[in-house]
Amino acid sequence: MKRQRQRGHAMLELAMCSAVLVSCLGGTFQFGYTFYVYNQLVTAVGNGGRYAAMRTYRAATAGDIEKARHAIRNMVVYGDPQAAGGSEPIVGGLTPEQVDVKWVSDPSGAPTAVDVSIVNFSLNAVFKTVTFSGRPGVEFPFVGRYAPSEREP
């Protein structure tokens, strides 16, 4: 008599447990993938920040400063300051426009540090879209050469 009442319970238990298991696996994948891409962004921003801190700061015109920003953005996105037109970004979907570069200057205008960060980068991580704005970011002290009268090549 007891066996007849328990019939079908295994199917219910399997259905309930599989729903919990799929939810846990999906959440683990979501977190892992987001963390993996964030780690790639941290590495790219760090490399770009180190490059920016050691390059020559040429500031003869505003165009020279923008050329330097462009080279730093390319370093973050492509891993090369003079990236070719068809280069693949290090992180899929990242563009140079999503990299923010700012120099911190002393009262005389000489750079003392450089800030590099990611802004408005949306990551589609299957179940949810995560937007990174201002993170990851780094600030390195400027140790390059200051050449205010030179032009950017």
pLDDT digits (tens, 9 = 90+) for 49-104: 999 999 988 887 888 889 999 999 999 999 888 888 788 999 988 999 999 999 99
Distance CA 95, CA 81 (A): 14
Distance CA 109, CA 136 (A): 26
- Asked if residue 3 has pLDDT above 70, the reply is no
Distance CA 120, CA 99 (A): 9
User: What is the average per-residue pLDDT within 8-16?
Assistant: 81
- Asked if residue 2 has pLDDT above 80, the reply is no
| Closest CA relative to residue 118, chosen from 100, 96, 130, 131 | 100
